Structure 1
Amino acid sequence: MSKAKTRKEIDEKYKWDIEDIYVNENLWEEDFNQVKELAQQIQSYKNTLKNSAEQLLEVLRLSDEIDRKTSKLFLYAKMRRDEDNTNDKYKTLFDRAEGLTVLAKSASAFIVPEILSISDEQLQKFLNDNDDLKIYSHFIDTITRQKEHILSPEEEKLMAMVAEIATSSSNIFTMLNNADIKFPVIKDEEGNDVELTKGNFGRFMESSDRRVRKDAFKALYSSYNKLFNTLGTTLSSSVKTNIFYSKARKYNSALEASLDQDNVTVDVYENLIKTVHNNLHHLHRYMNLRKKVLEVDELHIYDLYTPLVKEYKVKIPYEKAKEIVLAGLQPLGDDYLNILKQGLDSGWIDVYENVGKTSGAYSWGSYDTHPYILLNYDDKLNDVFTLAHELGHSLHSYYSNRNQPFVNSQYTIFVAEVASTVNELLLSDYMLKNSTDIKEKMNLINHYLEQFRGTVFRQTMFAEFEKLMHERAEKGEAITSELLSNIYNELNKFYFGPDVVIDDEVRIEWSRIPHFYSAFYVYKYATGFSAASAIKQKIIEGEPNILRDYINFLKAGGSDYPLNLLKNTGVDLTTPEPIELALEQFGNLVEELDEMFIKVDSAAKSNYKQA
């Protein structure tokens, strides 16, 4: 029976070089202790920030030093835990890092309220009189913009202290989802017993053998069903936490509170949902095409991920994937590619799945380290695109960290998905243009449509689910596992349309989605994809100055509000236009793929008659 490898069984060249953060854990302990000392030191600045521009600058610099060290400590501990969630040593280290983060935030909690106690005129005078303070202009503007939502110093300290408790539901879910949950053994296409994992689930769902797809689907959800009530409670607790924070900060809703961090209004969120609703006919047509091509009487959820081009099977080893990605991202220029090569060859990436490793993929790092990428590479075409995607995040961080002061280096999640998706779309464009095989082209279009379905339609459905469950809770309804399942079930029916059977297992899919513990995050995938689609098209068409503007966008980090940063590339997400254009392109590709299937089918029938 095939089993997932242990961490020790993975070749070292496919592991990230975490020692680039700390050569040994003694250095981690030294920084840990130093942060505790600095946290005490910063307390001495209480009630002094209005004294002078120099005093304000001094405390902001000290706060930055604490944040930089804390984020580096947290990065190391979290990544060590992610390598193997069953390792108690690193679970303990992570808990300590999380506790230190709360301590640091609590110690610095007085800063924002004190800045808000300074009059706007005095703050402007400080900025005019001290050139070094000017790098904090956007930070100060962000604070003063949210003035009515900032609490008193003591209340802010209390809110910071609550943070560790507030993350409990997410941490419990992480342990259940990555360490405790066990999946059954199923039989693969050859009849071999294989232990189901979250890593190989995707491969099974892409299988051309419908029995394998169905078995994997039912096996996965049978495991989550055993935790049905527990997972409902953890998600309900997370929702209650979001509502608590929104009420404490005097927002009208949890949604408004979340969006305000990016200076995005609720109508942008609702515009996305409305625009997608108005274009669901494109998705329904794609589902009809999938049903027709697969030649099934009923199209089930477990039929949605298998490639439509059955005869075209591709397995892409990691080393080959690196070559493809480098070739596909050529349009981004030599400087971008040189940094990319450095990342691929210098211990940035943890490639393969192992027992206890955190599932999925991410790019992460701190201001004082190079970026890191966690993968669970499984030789699928989708894994190649995931590599390109995460490298997009990493290069965004690389450019931002080296061109912005620490205070402006953290770009928001709203723009984060733009850089990653531009990479994916350029890669897709490259592979399509360089393919001479009609079936390969059909497979690539199929992949793009699946990418779009998963990023725009699916994430918008997720976003609507988050909106609905928070609204129900804000009205005083009990958020039970059954209620969550009913809401989720109805959304699936609405989004997928009449040609898809919504299997009973799908009712509890919400129970395994980690993003729901970072509320109102997922809509940014859909808006980011739409923005990236527009930018990619500009790059491919060679629009004057677009490459310069795009690289400057990456370098800008968090130096301005996200909607403004995107406008500098010619994309305006306050209007439905970018989303509508992306949805229109999806519809055109569905039509193109349909015509290609007709052409291939006609050719096959002609050859049959000639034979």
Structure 2
Amino acid sequence: MKREEQKISYTWRLEDMFESDEQWEKDYEKVSEALKKYSEYENKITENKEELITYLLFNDKVNNLVEKLYVYSNQKYHQDMSNAKYQAYAGKAQNLVISLSGAASFFEPEILNMDEDILKSWLEDARLTDYRRYISEILRSKEHTLDKKTEEILAKSRKMSSAPENIYSMYNGADIDFPEIDNNGEKIKITHGNFIPIMSGADRELRKKVFKGVYNTYGSMKNTIAATFNANVEQACFFADVRNYSSTRAMYLDSSNVPESVYDNLIGTVHEHMDLMYRYVDLRKKALKVDELHMYDIYAPIVDVPDKKYSFDEAKKMVKEGLAPMGKGYLEKLQEGFDNRWIDIYENEGKRSGAYSWGAYGTHPYVLLNYHGTLDHVFTLAHEMGHALHSYYSDKNQPYINAGYKIFVAEVASTCNESLLIHYLLGKTEDKKTRAYLINHFLEQFKGTLYRQTMFAEFEKITYAMAEKGETLTSDVLCKVYYGLNKLYFGENIVLDEEIALEWARIPHFYNPFYVYQYATGMSAAIALSRKIMKEKEKGVEDYMKFLTGGNSKDPIDLLKLAGVDMNSKEPIEQALKLFEELLDEMEKLI
């Protein structure tokens, strides 16, 4: 189906952001002119308080409008990525973002060079209340901010330092050439697109061939990829060193003011519960009825997928009933999203694949789906509406400067919704096959998020520590570390095919250092919160809403504490793993 043939009621209402493309173009020109005014504030914002207030209000207005221009143009583009007009719009908006960053780059150095006592006295003014956290965060980075000339040099070096990631992306995205394999007389060309579907399929011999084909391809370039990986680690270590951080990890966690102990606590607590992962491996081996479980069996289906399809109206009803513990206010906002075209529901030609929630401050959030009626897609609806309502509540309760929540907590609300929905569906499902499917859905999340992402996090911790000691991360070194971690995380009852040692070469997230651990902490926090909501009911929801409305008004760790979850402790991770154990108990009886 072409985009223009899509029923209007099934599409998102982007007119709520811009009435028309003509309005977008007018505001684009308005921002282009506004960017020229930034130079008028340079070397003046620290002269007097009034000048600072005027600048901050002006900057918020420009940033908010650039955000709207960027989001609208990209969402229009994602409706049909063959549409050249919106592809051009998205490119122009991207250039605006870059130009804005350059135009406003004088602000932080000037604030940091200002007399701190005078600045703090200015912040007592009620008109600067909303900006106290923003400026205090800039001041918090003062010990890691260098003189103006050095900062200019470091800024200019960023383009050069991004080379390892760009080289890897080019190789992995464009130049890599996976083999063509024979599958019962049919030739199949392995691609990034069909790798996971095949590995999640029932044909074991095909999985084995594809597994070996993919990792042998990476293996043929392992020294080049290792050199690229090592270069990316070294550039990250360089910036951490010159900015006076105790470690590279400390620098990356500092952007959200997350203590390194949270990272170590995650790894340590998961280590204490490896027995549960080993039980899951045994369960998978039993379900697949194989003499030996191999690494190419890790994603294979162990339960039948229900044939039942759910209309979108049925999906909305299921999600709303599943989220009933959240109370009347939350459900009303959920329904508002359903009724007022926040969601772009169905697939059409050229539409971006997958699903996401996005939006701009001052307009309600949006959700992109490609809904096909499966139970997985019902969960996707719950997940993305969790993101959407988190953004809605943050935007409604925080000023622009404090509305955007950090990545550390980005997956909490979405996963909490999924957890509530699963508990609801399990509570009303007696059919063994359906229960097995639901439980397995959650077990797969534990395996793929809590354990796998923690393993990735540990791989980064080990390799960066080695680099900081002056060791070169060769392919042999990386393979040895990665293979050892697989042995630790999967246990003795699985055949660790030698190819798995090369999996590090396939993970693009490793070029965004110390990022992946947040998936595991986010899931742990979400499960702890969902259990608290179900147990404490109104009190649990009341505490949770303190988190949902918090935006970036506090550090992520402190926002979660408001909801009753302390990520400095083992408890949230142990609660999540306790649920994993309960689900394993039942699944072992069902299979």
In the TM superposition, what is the alpha-carbon distance from 1:181 to its structure 2 partner? 6.7
Residue pairs, 1:229-244, within 5 angstroms = 235-236=229-230, 238-244=232-238
2:118 is matched with 122
Match of 1:138 among 133, 138, 141: 133
- Structure 1: segments with no counterpart, 5+ residues: 598-611
1:559-598 CA distances to partner (integer Å, 9 max, x unpaired)?
A: 011111111111111111211222233223222322333x
Match of 1:536 among 530, 533, 537: 530
Contact residue 318 and residue 377 of structure 1 kept, 8 A: no
In the TM superposition, what is the alpha-carbon distance from 1:424 to its structure 2 partner? 1.0
1:503 is matched with 497
Aligned length: 590
1:42 is matched with 38
Match of 1:289 among 283, 290, 293: 283
Q: Report the CA distance shift for 1:8/1:299 in structure 2 as closer, same or farther (over 3 A).
A: farther
In the TM superposition, what is the alpha-carbon distance from 1:410 to its structure 2 partner? 0.9
Task: Report the 3-state secondary structure (helix = DSSP H, G, I; strand = E; otherwise coil) of the residue aligned with 1:500.
Answer: coil
Task: Report the 3-state secondary structure (helix = DSSP H, G, I; strand = E; otherwise coil) of the residue aligned with 1:373.
Answer: strand
Establish whether residue 372 from structure 1 lines up as the match of residue 384 from structure 2.
Answer: no
1:339 is matched with 333
Match of 1:439 among 412, 433, 437: 433
Residue pairs, 1:20-99, within 5 angstroms = 20-22=16-18, 27-79=23-75, 94=90, 96-99=92-95
Contact residue 358 and residue 365 of structure 2 kept, 8 A: yes
In the TM superposition, what is the alpha-carbon distance from 1:373 to its structure 2 partner? 3.3
Q: Distance in 1 between matches of 2:220 and 2:102?
A: 38
In the TM superposition, what is the alpha-carbon distance from 1:302 to its structure 2 partner? 2.9
Q: Distance in 2 between matches of 1:534 and 1:525?
A: 14
Establish whether residue 148 from structure 1 lines up as the match of residue 140 from structure 2.
Answer: no
Contact residue 269 and residue 523 of structure 1 kept, 8 A: yes
Q: Report the CA distance shift for 1:274/1:60 in structure 2 as closer, same or farther (over 3 A).
A: same
Using structure 2 for the length normalisation, give the TM-score.
0.87
1:494 is matched with 488
In the TM superposition, what is the alpha-carbon distance from 1:99 to its structure 2 partner? 3.9
Give the AA of the match of 2:60: D
1:313 is matched with 306
Task: Report the 3-state secondary structure (helix = DSSP H, G, I; strand = E; otherwise coil) of the residue aligned with 1:363.
Answer: strand
Contact residue 300 and residue 502 of structure 1 kept, 8 A: yes
Q: Report the CA distance shift for 1:232/1:32 in structure 2 as closer, same or farther (over 3 A).
A: farther
In the TM superposition, what is the alpha-carbon distance from 1:401 to its structure 2 partner? 1.1
1:427-448 CA distances to partner (integer Å, 9 max, x unpaired)?
A: 1101100101123222222221
In the TM superposition, what is the alpha-carbon distance from 1:279 to its structure 2 partner? 1.2
Contact residue 534 and residue 540 of structure 2 kept, 8 A: no
1:551 is matched with 545
1:413-472 CA distances to partner (integer Å, 9 max, x unpaired)?
A: 112221111111001101100101123222222221111111110111111122233333
Q: Report the CA distance shift for 1:77/1:153 in structure 2 as closer, same or farther (over 3 A).
A: farther
Give the AA of the match of 2:53: L
Instruction: Percent identity, please.
Output: 45
Contact residue 109 and residue 157 of structure 1 kept, 8 A: no
Give the AA of the match of 1:284: Y
In the TM superposition, what is the alpha-carbon distance from 1:97 to its structure 2 partner? 3.8
In the TM superposition, what is the alpha-carbon distance from 1:498 to its structure 2 partner? 1.1
Q: Distance in 1 between matches of 2:203 and 2:515?
A: 35
1:493-549 CA distances to partner (integer Å, 9 max, x unpaired)?
A: 221111222334434433443433332222111111111111111111134522122
- Structure 2: segments with no counterpart, 5+ residues: none
Contact residue 533 and residue 539 of structure 2 kept, 8 A: no
Give the AA of the match of 1:313: P
Task: Report the 3-state secondary structure (helix = DSSP H, G, I; strand = E; otherwise coil) of the residue aligned with 1:541.
Answer: helix
In the TM superposition, what is the alpha-carbon distance from 1:88 to its structure 2 partner? 7.4
Contact residue 553 and residue 565 of structure 1 kept, 8 A: yes
Q: Report the CA distance shift for 1:149/1:359 in structure 2 as closer, same or farther (over 3 A).
A: farther
Task: Report the 3-state secondary structure (helix = DSSP H, G, I; strand = E; otherwise coil) of the residue aligned with 2:357.
Answer: strand
Establish whether residue 101 from structure 1 lines up as the match of residue 105 from structure 2.
Answer: no
Task: Report the 3-state secondary structure (helix = DSSP H, G, I; strand = E; otherwise coil) of the residue aligned with 1:571.
Answer: coil
Q: Distance in 2 between matches of 1:505 and 1:261?
A: 36
Give the AA of the match of 1:107: A
Task: Report the 3-state secondary structure (helix = DSSP H, G, I; strand = E; otherwise coil) of the residue aligned with 2:439.
Answer: helix
Which range is displaced more, 61-70 or 442-451? 61-70
In the TM superposition, what is the alpha-carbon distance from 1:148 to its structure 2 partner? 0.5
Contact residue 53 and residue 133 of structure 1 kept, 8 A: no
Q: Distance in 2 between matches of 1:412 and 1:239?
A: 23
Task: Report the 3-state secondary structure (helix = DSSP H, G, I; strand = E; otherwise coil) of the residue aligned with 2:569.
Answer: coil
Contact residue 306 and residue 434 of structure 2 kept, 8 A: no
Give the AA of the match of 1:39: L
1:429 is matched with 423
In the TM superposition, what is the alpha-carbon distance from 1:358 to its structure 2 partner? 5.8
Give the AA of the match of 1:297: D
Which range is displaced more, 497-506 or 30-39? 30-39
1:600 is matched with none
1:2-42 CA distances to partner (integer Å, 9 max, x unpaired)?
A: xxx99789877666555654555555454444434333312
Residue pairs, 1:211-610, within 5 angstroms = 211-214=205-208, 217=211, 235-236=229-230, 238-310=232-304, 313-317=306-310, 319=312, 320-344=314-338, 346-350=340-344, 360-375=354-369, 380-479=374-473, 483-597=477-591
Q: Distance in 2 between matches of 1:218 and 1:198?
A: 14
Q: Report the CA distance shift for 1:291/1:193 in structure 2 as closer, same or farther (over 3 A).
A: same
In the TM superposition, what is the alpha-carbon distance from 1:173 to its structure 2 partner? 5.8
Q: Distance in 1 between matches of 2:174 and 2:6?
A: 19
Contact residue 325 and residue 384 of structure 1 kept, 8 A: yes
Task: Report the 3-state secondary structure (helix = DSSP H, G, I; strand = E; otherwise coil) of the residue aligned with 1:526.
Answer: helix
Residue pairs, 1:118-197, within 5 angstroms = 118-128=114-124, 130-157=125-152, 159-160=154-155, 162-163=157-158
